[in-house]
Structures are given as C-alpha cells and as structure tokens.
Amino acid sequence: MTGITLRLDVERWREHLRVVAGATPGLVAVAKGNGYGFGLRRLAEESERLGVDTLAVGAVPEVEQVREAFSGDIVVLTPFDRADERARLLVGDPRVITTVSRIEDLEYVAGLAAGPRVVVEVLTSMRRHGILPDQLARVSPLLARVDFCGWTIHLPLRTEGRYAEAERLARTALDVAPGPLWLSHLPAEEAEALSRQLAGAGADPVPLRLRVGTRLWLDHSGARQTTATVLDVHPVRRGERTGYRQRVSPMDGWVAVVAGGTSHGIGLEAPTAATTLRSRAISLATGSLEAAGLALSPYSIGGRARWFVEPPHMQCSLVFLPRRVTPPQVGDEVPVRLRLTTATVDQVVDV
C-alpha cells in the first residue's frame, strides 16, 4: 500500500448508513463531486445495497458514473442548462429526474421529450437557483406537459428562521400544485412536522424526499481512518536549506517526505496556525517553528501533528521532525487528517 489510504470499518459504516436511512423519511442519498472521498461509484454501490430508491448526483456528467452500480432513479441537482447537450439528452431518460430552476427552461424541457420527469426548484434565501416564489403560479400551466415529481427547496445551513422559510415557500408551491417536497438540510423531525402541518388536520402528510450527503456518508468518523505512506526520511541540520523554496531549517531534525499533496487536497484547509497577536508573540518569544514561518500540517508522527517544511507539492509533502523524535521508516503509514469533501485518496480499503 502506498499513497493516501482511507481504511473503512465497513460493518460499522454500513450500520451507521442503515441508522441514518431508517431515521430519514424518503431518503435521497447525495453522491456528487469527489463522492465525499469514497468516489461516486462506491457511493452508488452502497446506496444500492442500502436499498434507497433515489440517488442525487451533482452534475450531468456524474450520471454515467453511478447508473450502472445503482438501479434506482437518479436526480441531477444542478438545474437544467439548455446549453448543455448532455443535459438535453438526459431529459426523457426514464431513470433520470431533471431539476428545473427557470420557467423558460420548464417550457423548453417539456418540448424535448414526452412527459419528462422533473422537479421544480423554488428560490430560497440562499439565492442560488430557483424560481422566485411570486412567479410560481406561472409554472402551473406547464406541469401538464411534464411528469411532475415535486418541488425542491434547498435551504441554507443556518438554523434560525429555517423552518419558517421552508413552510412559507412550500405552502406557496403546494398552492400552485400538490407534489412531494424535496428538501435539504432540514432535520427529519422538522421535515415531518412540516409535512403534517402543510397537509392540515386529517389529511395525509405531504410526501417528503430528504436529501442527505455529509451526514449520511461522513458522520461516523469512528468508522474510518486515513493514512499517508512515508516515502523518504532525511536528516537535516540547523541552518541547512531544504525543499523547493530552500528554506533554512530552524533546528536539527529530519525531513520526512510523506505521500499526499495538493492533488489529494492536502493543504486546502486553512493550516492551523496561531492567529491571535498574543499567541504570535508567544511563539516568537519561544522561537517556535511557527515563528519561523512554518504551518502545521495534517500529518501526525510520533503522536503529534507536525509542521510543513513548505507548502505541499502535487503528490507529496515535506514535514519537519525535531531531532529528538524517532523518525518513521520508509514504508510506514502515518495518520493524516483529511477533509473528505475536498480530498482525493489513492485507495479505499475495507477492513
């Protein structure tokens, strides 16, 4: 094994997936972008195994990466764009649900295929995509020409005012046409309360489709471990230069060359450095590595996070170890902290 490895305690992870799925009415598993570090194909396989009926992908090119491993419906979260030829071709695909966020596009999509499956997006306070609530009435006559799968409402993460906004927008939309509500970032209990409240006493609750990505795939951090292989180790003396940037080493020690660089997403997180003036003053006074202009790396060696010698390279990083630390051996694996929504690992290993 070399490079960056994500080890997955697959039984614990799947148990967590089942718990989230069981607690989420109308779960729509979200698999987009880098596949939350696991890859889109892997998430498609897990969704299939979990038995969810609908998978959401972020963008049109992602559909083909999941459609073989996953047998249910695939909803594309990025709204339809008529300039995108592949998006036009997917309209009318019986397994694909197209998100439409503009009235002109709804009309256009209705003309592309017979009864294409669509969800219509309502603009929220995020102001990302969607039709303005006061324009929704114009959607009504167009719905006869499509297979209307519901309204989609993508709420901001902030909890304050979220329920009220969801209620206001959903009510406006449901007054135009009844249909399932596709929601993000609203906890299941709130969504269920909303669906009962909108339906009114005695009526069946409004059907819910709750989209979940991060909380489904990444919440169980105990079920995974990320490591980097040590590629080389070199002694360095105080005052000697190292790295691309030929920085002067502030003390005797070792340069450990470890797998993982910008192409893996290493260093994309703001490096944890002392930010207050007081902590800067303290580190200057103690002559720490931070005062020497180094940044803390996500790699741990000998039980502690270590400092970067310089910014990560494309596929490896140089980290500094003081001389008193026993250096790792080439081929050892050391823990690396990765934010999996921005990381690309070399392999996922089930344990």
Ligand X SMILES: *Cc1c(COP(=O)(O)O)cnc(C)c1O
- Nearest partner of 211 among 320, 52, 38, judged by Cα: 52
Report in angstroms how near the CB of residue 21 gets to ligand X at its nearest: 14
Closest residue to ligand X, based on beta-carbon distance: 213
Residue 24 or 195: the one with the smaller Cβ distance to ligand X is: 24
Distance CA 118, CA 144 (A): 12
Report in angstroms how near the CB of residue 120 gets to ligand X at its nearest: 13
Report in angstroms how near the CB of residue 103 gets to ligand X at its nearest: 19
Q: Which of residues 248-277 bind ligand X (CB under 6 A)?
A: none
Strands 4-8 and 296-301: unpaired
Q: Which of residues 133-172 bind ligand X (CB under 6 A)?
A: 154
Residue 142 or 212: the one with the smaller Cβ distance to ligand X is: 212
For residue 344, give the 3-state DSSP assignment.
Answer: coil
Residue 20 or 230: the one with the smaller Cβ distance to ligand X is: 20
Buried b (16+ CB within 10 A) or exposed e, 246-262: ebebbeebbbbbbbbbe
For residue 282, give the 3-state DSSP assignment.
Answer: helix
158 contact partners, CB below 8 Å, separation of at least 6: none
Task: State yes or no: residue 327 binds ligand X (CB under 6 A).
Answer: no
The 27-66 site mask, x for binding ligand X (CB under 6 A), equals: ---x-x----------------------------------
The 78-117 site mask, x for binding ligand X (CB under 6 A), equals: ----------------------------------------
Report in angstroms how near the CB of residue 94 gets to ligand X at its nearest: 22
Cβ atoms of residues 320 and 253 within 8 Å: yes
CA distances from 58 to 63, 125, 341, 343 (A): 9, 20, 13, 17
Kindly determine how many residues on this chain lie close enough to bind ligand X according to the rule CB under 6 A. 10
Report in angstroms how near the CB of residue 250 gets to ligand X at its nearest: 40
- Nearest partner of 345 among 71, 39, 100, judged by Cα: 39
Report in angstroms how near the CB of residue 183 gets to ligand X at its nearest: 8
Q: Which of residues 212-241 bind ligand X (CB under 6 A)?
A: 212-215
Distance CA 241, CA 36 (A): 38
Residue 156 or 207: the one with the smaller Cβ distance to ligand X is: 156
Cβ atoms of residues 146 and 110 within 8 Å: yes
Q: Which of residues 288-317 bind ligand X (CB under 6 A)?
A: none
Residue 215 or 337: the one with the smaller Cβ distance to ligand X is: 215
The 179-218 site mask, x for binding ligand X (CB under 6 A), equals: -----x--------------------------xxxxx---
Considering Cα of 87, then 88, then 93, then 99, what sign does the dihedral take? positive
Report in angstroms how near the CB of residue 215 gets to ligand X at its nearest: 6
Q: Which residues pair with 25 in a beta bridge?
A: none
Report in angstroms how near the CB of residue 20 gets to ligand X at its nearest: 11
For residue 118, give the 3-state DSSP assignment.
Answer: strand
Report in angstroms how near the CB of residue 89 gets to ligand X at its nearest: 22
**3-state SS of the chain: helix, strand, coil percent to 5?**
30, 25, 40
CB atoms within 10 A of CB 225: 16
> Which residues contact ligand X (rule: CB under 6 A)?
30, 32, 77, 154, 184, 211-215
